[in-house]
Amino acid sequence: MCQVSDGNTRGDYAPEVRGALEGFVEGGDVPGFVAAIYRSGDLTFVESGRMSLDSDARVEVDSIFRISSMSKPVTAVATLVLVERGVLSLDAPVHEYLPELADRRVVAKLDGPIENTVAARRAFTVRDLLTFTFGFGALFAPCPIVDAASALEVAVGPPQPARAPAPDEWLRRFATLPLMHQPGERWMYHTGSDLLGILISRVSGQDFTSFLTDHVLSPLSMNDTGFYVPAERLSRFGPCYQFDATTDSLTVFDPVNGQWSVAPAFASGGAGLVSTAVDYLRFAGMLLRGGAPIVSSDTVAEMTSDQLTTEQKSMSGFGPGFFDTIGWGFGVSVTTAAAEGAGSLGQYGWSGGLGTLWFNDPARDLAAVLMTNRMWSSPTPPPIAAAFASVVNAIT
């Protein structure tokens, strides 16, 4: 059972983790990091470096980071709370809850005009949103549908919480667009999680932030997790950096008093949360011990099982080979095949493009979290993330 206290416990794996990661701080790849590992009752926390390049403030175990896409598993769990309570049905058409999304059209060709559409062959479901197979999401090449979504500020890109409109307006804008693919045809990243946040609010009668706090965060004592950092906690928050290839240096993507310092109009279920290593290890521990007290073990088993078909995998991913060794559950990737340096079959988790990583390995009763404040430069995990995964996956 993974139980995380507020204590700064040093476990048996600190020397290995520090040895694998501190070079990235010393070499200037990241300003600092927090690593957290739970393994069969043992907790390891390792922190190193600074929160800011222009400050001597050290990274601490309770430092707060933008976790971006590690929001997706949290949103999935919130959705599954409502499924277990009978408020939502996994296989119900989403338009039963969000009538704005009835009668969907689909672009005839991705590189064609968005006015050239065909009817959706079926309605998309709550399950489709959870598995990212509802027909809309990230495309990393310019095309008319991406241009249209960008103009409406509903396209997938680096998190910008201050820019997104409020949920009802976001949904109104999104509903004017056709889908990119037929529902169920292929895996498309991200947008399903943002729609889930709106769906949760609509059916629960609470705004998404309040529902998430009441039914997931507070029961797990994830008190530093939310969609912004209150003023009294900004001293534990740092800038987020990105790499500028033109100057070969890190530049500020978002300052301390930037977009995560005020409550956003749109609480993004896909990429909006901030958290700490301790808080996220509590979330990871909940899943590792079977979902209590948030959801049932059967729900966790379904969430963390590969839900994609061979056909969906053959057409999808961030690039060639993306699905060679992983599948996708509800808001998490799932290891489906052995690979060098990979964890056990059934290992699951996800990462955040603003500098974070998490995975659980049930076969080894293990959970691992890495927090940094440097944005990833590509969908491929950066060296520090790969080094962390490697050292943790070597634990026997």
Map out the domains of the chain with their CATH numbers: 67-227+263-273+287-336 (3.40.710.10)
Residue closest to 62 by CA, chosen among 185, 284, 224, 186: 224
Q: Write out the two tokens for 374.
A: 């440097």
**DSSP-based three-state secondary structure for 9:** coil
What span, in angstroms and rounded, lies between the C-alpha atoms of 270 and 131? 13
Q: Is 348 exposed, middle or buried (0-12, 13-18, 19+ CB in 10 A)?
A: buried
Considering the chain, what is the average pLDDT of its residues?
94
For tokens 């479901």, the residue is 125
Tell me how far apart the alpha carbons of residues 351 and 318 are, in angstroms, rounded to a whole number: 14
Strand-pair partners of 355:
none
**pLDDT score, position 52:** 96
Structure tokens at 162: 């201050």
What is the CA angle 68-214-212, rounded to 5? 25
pLDDT of residue 395: 87
d(CA 11, CA 32): 20
Q: What's the pLDDT score for residue 249?
A: 93
Q: What residues does 250 pair with on adjacent strands? A: 243
Q: Residue 151: is it exposed, middle or buried by C-beta count within 10 angstroms (0-12/13-18/19+)?
A: exposed
pLDDT of residue 341: 63
Q: What pLDDT is recorded for position 357?
A: 98
Could you tell me if 67 and 273 are in contact, meaning their C-beta atoms sit under 8 angstroms apart? yes
DSSP state of 215: I
The residues facing 360 across adjacent strands are 348, 367
Residue 24, Cα to own-chain centre: how many angstroms? 23
Local structure of residue 45 (DSSP, 8 states): E
Block residue for tokens 């059916």: 203
Measured distance CA(129)–CA(190) in Å, rounded: 9
pTM, whole model, 2 decimals? 0.96
CB count, 10 Å around CB of 80?
Answer: 25
Residues in Cβ contact with 63 at an 8 Å cutoff, skipping those fewer than 6 apart? 32, 34, 47, 51, 236, 237, 238, 276, 277, 371
Local structure of 250: helix, strand or coil: strand
Beta strands (DSSP E) in 259-389 are 274-275, 326-328, 333-335, 348-352, 356-361, 366-372
How far apart CA 7 and CA 280 sit, in angstroms, is 15
3-state secondary structure of 366: strand
Cross-strand bridge partners of residue 141? none
What residues of the chain score a pLDDT lower than 70?
1-11, 316, 341-342
Let me know the angle formed at the C-alpha of 101 by 96 and 107, rounded to the nearest 5 degrees: 140
Q: Is residue 72 a contact partner of residue 98, using CB atoms and an 8 Å limit?
A: no
195, 152 contact by CB (below 8 A): no
What's phi and psi for 334, nearest 5 deg? -135, 130
